[in-house]
Structure 1
């Protein structure tokens, strides 16, 4: 049974749905390239209209999702009785470049270059 867009919007606008959409982790179910089912936890963000999931460019799930974009997501709580939001649909894959800059483990590219130059001078 397929839901109409207005029905989906109504479910997603409910307070419990909004609470679950504000969480950090969902469980992504998809079909792997070998044809077997997979279910993996993955971080997500709710944009207000889309769930955005991020992964590395070499993640094994990407070839599987390109071949079979139909997925299911579960966002739930760990308490009893649980609150559970079940979502099914198709993924759209967008490859984007991104970099985390936290000034502890990663730095802006220009700063990284200065650090490399300084290390090269010190090692010369």
Structure 2
């Protein structure tokens, strides 16, 4: 666990450190290329592992909070889950040629909600 009272700030700082090898999208979003790099480097690079953990935890916690805060939405049929393999599977749908410009977070969150059986819109 990060020893920082503002986990979001720590996560952003870690992302900035590890993201130097891969650019974010031109709109400043975390790209599929960045997440792929973190996933590939996590086994051997402690900074990439910390960054990946912070990113996935932040994404999962935010999605859960948004669902908890939304009123009138049907509950999900299963728990929300997110791990490195699930993230890798979710971003695998992005074309390699567009990895630097494809935002990773919407792909990961959409997959997480689908796996949990969440219905947000008809």
Structure showing the higher helix proportion among its residues: 2
**Which gives a bigger RCO, structure 1 or 2 (Cα 8 Å, sep 6+)?**
2
Structure 2 length-normalised TM: 0.23
Structure 1 length-normalised TM: 0.23
Give 1 or 2 for the bigger CA radius of gyration. 1
